[in-house]
Amino acid sequence: DTEVTQTPKHLVMGMTNKKSLKCEQHMGHRAMYWYKQKAKKPPELMFVYSYEKLSINESVPSRFSPECPNSSLLNLHLHALQPEDSALYLCASSQDLGSADTQYFGPGTRLTVL
């Protein structure tokens, strides 16, 4: 099973709202990732967790707050977002952190900020 699930599929929120995106994998992977993808662009790395600890933060604004409650679950908390934050948010996981480890992607959450 190489499945990464993400909820919700779609999310519409106002600039004053607080919402969360959820990502789950049951492959025993110890590295999990958040990417942001704008239309017609490649995914951009936001955060990387390794063994439930934040390993990489690609200078993401603090209105995005990641959380890794356990090895299977990754959340992205959203607060005071801007319309330019509207995008497809992708979660991925890999066995470990290493160039040879394949990243498996979820279907994404389509976020619209009004």
Partner 1 sequence: AQSVTQPDIHITVSEGASLELRCNYSYGATPYLFWYVQSPGQGLQLLLKYFSGDTLVQGIKGFEAEFKRSQSSFNLRKPSVHWSDAAEYFCAVGALRFGNEKLTFGTGTRLTIIP
Smallest gap from residue 98 Cβ to partner 1 (A) = 6
CB of 74 to partner 1, least distance (A): 14
Nearer to partner 1, 80 or 86 (CB): 86
- Residue 73 Cβ vs partner 1, minimum distance, rounded to whole Å: 17
Residues that bind partner 1 (CB under 8 A): 4, 6, 31, 40-43, 45, 48, 50, 55-56, 88, 90, 92, 94, 97-108, 110
Q: What is the dihedral of CA 39, 52, 6, 25, to 10 degrees?
A: 120
Rounded-to-integer distance, Cα 100 and Cα 114, Å: 40
Instruction: Specify burial of residue 100 (Cβ count, 10 A radius: 0-12, 13-18, 19+).
Output: exposed
